[in-house]
Structure 1
Amino acid sequence: MANIQSLDPTASPLDYYGWELRRQREAHGLKQGQLGDIIFCTGSLIGQIETTKKVPTRDFSERVDAALGTDGLFSRLIGLVLRSQLPNWFQPYAEMEAKATYISTYQAQLVYGLLQTEEYAQAVLSVDRRAKVDGMVAARMERQRVLQRDQPPALWVILSEAALLLEIGGPGVMRRQLAHLLKFQEDPWVQIQVLPFSTGQHTGMMGTFTLLRFDDDPDLFYMDGYDQGHMTANPDVIKERSVGYARLQAAALSPEDSARLITRVMEERYAAPHSTDER
């Protein structure tokens, strides 16, 4: 990784963040350990972030701003830093997702990224990208901030029943992930439906896909693969997939029945163990 003496602040958002952190810290006459004491972390962590060996979090950035009086500088930078941790092919979608006013998605195997818990995301992303998993998890959590806006997008999620049964990270992780989904029952902007196996053939058999709608821009269709994403505003594709999604909504369980199924799976398949150790 980069040596702080040779760190190029123009190389990437992460490099600039590390360079600026060191510059601001030294301008305040603080050593790494001293700054760490102020913001309740180790000097080693400060050093790792300054040399791009560690990706900062939003919480870390806000504490640095408060400690150094940098007027929100690092809180503004962190969004760029975390977005840069997403795969290059996924970044265009993430940018459009953040601008959408209506998101409708069908998920064939996994919980949608905006609804994932941190530990669930960690388990999913660590399969292929262990070296970058911390930064990618932080980036996924950053994406979820769109749901916390004063005017969040309307989000409609259809999950295949497989997403409830595919055990990601172990029973405890799944139990907490399903419990997290249930918290959205009271959210007026989020609707979750489960498509049961008993549906048989359906219009989502092509795989996971998402439709994005905007106030002033054309609708977008998106689906991703292992190392690439496909996004189009082709009106014929939008029409076909919108009808397909409406048929999925009609075939899926109601939001109320979906919540009952999620609860049943959580309590029966991922019941809390009697001992303190989970398998």
Structure 2
Amino acid sequence: MARAIDPQSSMAALFGSRLRKLRVAAGLTQAEVGSLAHVVSSRIAQLERATGAKPTLELTRVLDRELVADELLIDLWPYVYREAFPDWSRAFIAYSARAAVIREYASHVVPGLLQTPEYARALLSVGHTLRDAEHLEERLAARLDRQVRLTGSDRPDLWIILDEAVLRRPIGGSAVMRAQLEKLLRMSEEPDITIQVLPFDQGAHGSLGGSLTVLVMPDGTEVAYTEGAHYGQLTEEPDEVERFVLTYDQLRAMALPPLMSLAMIRSVLEADHRAASVPSRSDRRRLAQQQLQQPGGRQLRAGGGRIPRRRPGP
């Protein structure tokens, strides 16, 4: 007989306990539930015992529907999902899941929302908080599940500034990096996603110590999150957040305009990582003037106002 798990030991254990009760109440075996959810029966057993990788959001939705759980499992899933991350990042994940606008400066790596599975795996494999291979799969699944929001009706406006180092550091090897750069180019075609590159020749700036994210919530309030290799700091005090907003606006002004940023990504993709050229300042000014003459171009001026905080309604 399988050893009973303590539903109070973790959110994954609570999820597994509720899943088992729903399955038993429905008069179904693990194999039958697995068939309904298009997974092997051992996967259902792992979820009920809170072993193995944590459930994805897609699988949770299927289980909730097939077991007529009235969104009980869906409501539990975010808490299970957050357990795969360090404590200091969980509050940020909760905020970002609801944000209407996400503005991020990435100093070292591509932001999680835009990572390919292979790039994400390479990054997560070297994390100091990683416990074992099973934990790696949990964190990878959780990171990729976050990207689902970019395809939903409530997708946020996403404005990303990538340090030039992000483009030139071959995470996972050349093939993985090439696929990642190609994804950046594809994602930049989405109407709610803007990507800029901050070139090396811009020198010092206010966020050299790590990455910076400013989130605008549906009610218009803002929170800021700064992150280094092994730490994260969430800031909610309005006066402190305002300083980070100003820093982000300065970074946006220093970065290449969006069209020129994409040209630089292509140059890194098409040439040796060490040989890609950075456009001259005169070239940047010329292209920026061309963009200003295009529809919506005024939003791209270097010294312009902040990014709109709310996406217009349909």
TM-score normalised by the shorter chain: which range applies?
0.7 to 0.9
Q: Which sits farther off after the overlay, 231-240 or 150-159?
A: 231-240
In structure 2, what is the Cα distance between the partners aligned to 1:178 and 1:186?
13
Q: Where does structure 2 lack aligned partners over 5 or more consecutive residues?
A: 274-314
Task: Tell me, yes or no, if the aligned pair for 2:210 and 2:228 is still in contact at 8 Å.
Answer: no
The verdict on how the C-alpha distance between 1:255 and 1:4 changes in structure 2, with shifts beyond 3 A counting, is farther
Task: Tell me, yes or no, if the aligned pair for 1:79 and 1:142 is still in contact at 8 Å.
Answer: no
Superimposed CA distance per residue, residues 38-61 of structure 1 (whole angstroms, 9 cap, x where no aligned partner): 433222222222211121112322
Q: Specify the alignment match of 1:207 in structure 2.
A: 210
Superimposed CA distance per residue, residues 92-144 of structure 1 (whole angstroms, 9 cap, x where no aligned partner): 11112223222211111011122222222222112131521122122222333
Aligned residues: 268
Task: Tell me, yes or no, if the aligned pair for 2:122 and 2:171 is still in contact at 8 Å.
Answer: yes
Q: Specify the alignment match of 2:148 in structure 1.
A: 145
**SS at 2:213's partner residue?**
strand
How much has 1:215 moved relative to structure 2? Answer: 4.5
Superimposed CA distance per residue, residues 53-107 of structure 1 (whole angstroms, 9 cap, x where no aligned partner): 1211123223333443444443443233212322211111111222322221111
Q: Does 1:160 align with 2:173?
A: no
Q: Specify the alignment match of 2:83 in structure 1.
A: 84
Task: Tell me, yes or no, if the aligned pair for 2:209 and 2:228 is still in contact at 8 Å.
Answer: no
Q: Which sits farther off after the overlay, 73-82 or 118-127?
A: 73-82
The verdict on how the C-alpha distance between 1:265 and 1:16 changes in structure 2, with shifts beyond 3 A counting, is same
In structure 1, what is the Cα distance between the partners aligned to 2:177 and 2:71?
36
Q: Specify the alignment match of 1:171 in structure 2.
A: 174
Q: Does 1:222 align with 2:221?
A: no
State the TM-score, normalized to the length of structure 2: 0.76
How much has 1:229 moved relative to structure 2? Answer: 2.0
Task: Tell me, yes or no, if the aligned pair for 2:161 and 2:252 is still in contact at 8 Å.
Answer: yes
Q: Specify the alignment match of 1:126 in structure 2.
A: 125
Alignment of 1:1-279 (within 5 A): 5-54=3-52, 55-128=54-127, 129-131=130-132, 132-216=135-219, 218-269=221-272
How much has 1:252 moved relative to structure 2? Answer: 1.1
Superimposed CA distance per residue, residues 206-256 of structure 1 (whole angstroms, 9 cap, x where no aligned partner): 321112223436422221234432122344433433332222212211111
Cα-Cα RMSD:
2.5
Question: Letter of the aligned partner of 1:116 in structure 2?
Answer: Q
**SS at 2:88's partner residue?**
coil
In structure 1, what is the Cα distance between the partners aligned to 2:16 and 2:115?
28
Q: Where does structure 1 lack aligned partners over 5 or more consecutive residues?
A: 271-279
State the TM-score, normalized to the length of structure 1: 0.84
**SS at 2:210's partner residue?**
coil
Seq. identity, %: 37
In structure 1, what is the Cα distance between the partners aligned to 2:236 and 2:57?
33
The verdict on how the C-alpha distance between 1:213 and 1:117 changes in structure 2, with shifts beyond 3 A counting, is same
In structure 2, what is the Cα distance between the partners aligned to 1:193 and 1:62?
35
In structure 2, what is the Cα distance between the partners aligned to 1:154 and 1:222?
17
